[in-house]
Amino acid sequence: MAKEGLPSIYDYTLDELKEKLKPSFRAKQVYNWLYKKYANSYDDMKNIPNELKEDLKANYPIDVMEIVKKEQSIDGSIKYLFKLRDNHTVEAVLLLMKEKKKDEDGNIVRSEKFTVCISSQVGCKVGCSFCLTAKGGFVRNLTVGEYIAQIVNIKRDNDIAENKALNIVYMGMGEPLDNFDNFVKAVSIFSELDGLAISRRRQTVSTSGIASKIEKLGKIDLGIQLAISLHAVDDELRSELIPMNKAYNIASIIDAVKKFPIDTRKKVMFEYLVIKNKNDSVEAAKKLIKLLNGIQAKVNLIFFNPYPGTTYQRPEVEDMLKFKDYLNERGLICTIRESKGIDISAACGQLKEKEANGNS
């Protein structure tokens, strides 16, 4: 793997690369190799002159991370553990949302639909009590190139066609808005038409609720979707689950969301991790309706996935259904997220923790 410290070729927008590579048309050629053919070596770039290849190898490495472990679920999800140049590790997950469908003659009538959850940081500052990532503390932000390389590696590893659209959710390890500038630039590079061409409407940032950064993101109006990790309807419980709530309480988050520019065809997603006997009551559902009044909202209920050492428990299916039905019957769209990868290291940070402890 390339030595630490050098910028990655994935750090640059196409326009930036045109400034660095002369003649500038070489930049588009390199972009084509990187993002359409998923080249992982400059030697594979047949139409690039050798002199330029040597310069690129020396100054703009491609291999900024490598897959060190992956686990595949019976539902098709794959969880990846990537090792970075400084030997730290982060996770990403490929979720198969819909399988390929064929007719009786074997013709494809519907292609697969994928979502990839990617990480933003090594560790995390937020310190959520239900999250395994918090155990390791915060180490550093991911670079722009490390954002991009997660998607490229996963597309390459699964032979996903370059013109195959997928969705990105910034909700792996770390808080994306705590790595604001790199996150914003990554959104731009992902959406480059000459690159991965992942529409901004297909990109969703999931935040634990840094109200000031939500407002800042709203002002630059990136055109991406917003998801809020809410998980509680009162500040007492939310501060237990997400200590950062003491700095950015529920009221400040709701106020920031109301200012956020939303595509009229879309809604703000409120992620609600349901924990048994903590936030799974109909009374909590009543408070949630009141809290989200006036917001173009959708609620996504998520089963808590227990991991070794946690005191929190998975909720009963019956309680999840009561919660969902209560919201839907009163006009607040609510779905229960289908649990993906429950037979593998599904909880965020779990695969990293298993690898660190030498478990298989």
Question: What domains are defined for the chain?
Answer: 9-59 (1.10.150.530), 65-356 (3.20.20.70)
**Which among 117, 146, 348, 353 is annotated as catalytic?**
348
The whole-number pLDDT of residue 207 equals 97
The whole-number pLDDT of residue 138 equals 93
| Cα 252 to Cα 255: distance, rounded to the nearest angstrom | 5
The CA angle 149-202-296, to the nearest 5 degrees, is: 135
Name the β-bridge partners of 78.
Answer: 72, 94
CB 89 within 8 A of CB 82: yes
Closest CA to 274 of 300, 295, 252, 253: 300
- Is residue 91 annotated as a catalytic residue, yes or no? yes
The whole-number pLDDT of residue 360 equals 44
Annotated binding site for [4Fe-4S] cluster: 124, 128, 131
Annotated binding site for S-adenosyl-L-methionine: 174-175, 206, 229-231, 305
**Which among 71, 91, 271, 353 is annotated as catalytic?**
91
Measure the N-to-C terminal CA separation of the chain; round to a whole number of Å: 24
* pTM of the predicted protein model: 0.90
The whole-number pLDDT of residue 102 equals 76
Name the β-bridge partners of 170.
Answer: 118, 205
| Cα 115 to Cα 113: distance, rounded to the nearest angstrom | 7
Q: Strand, helix or coil at 133?
A: helix
Annotated binding site: 124, 128, 131, 174-175, 206, 229-231, 305
Regarding beta strands 268-274 and 297-303, do their DSSP bridges make them parallel or antiparallel, or are they unpaired? Answer: parallel
pLDDT averages per 10-residue partition of the chain, 360 residues: 79 97 96 97 96 95 96 92 96 88 74 93 91 83 98 97 92 95 98 96 96 96 95 96 95 96 86 96 97 96 89 94 97 85 56 56
- Is residue 192 annotated as a catalytic residue, yes or no? no
CB 12 within 8 A of CB 73: no
Cβ neighbors of 259 (< 8 A, separation 6 or more) are 215, 218
Helix and strand numbers, DSSP H then E, in the chain? 11, 14
Query: Hey, CA dihedral for 245, 347, 295, 217, is it positive or negative?
Result: positive
Interval 262-314: pLDDT, tens: 877 789 999 999 999 999 999 999 999 999 999 999 999 999 988 888 899 99
The whole-number pLDDT of residue 135 equals 74
The whole-number pLDDT of residue 357 equals 58
Rg (CA), the chain: 21
The whole-number pLDDT of residue 222 equals 94
| Cα 289 to Cα 46: distance, rounded to the nearest angstrom | 58
Closest CA to 153 of 99, 87, 72, 91: 91
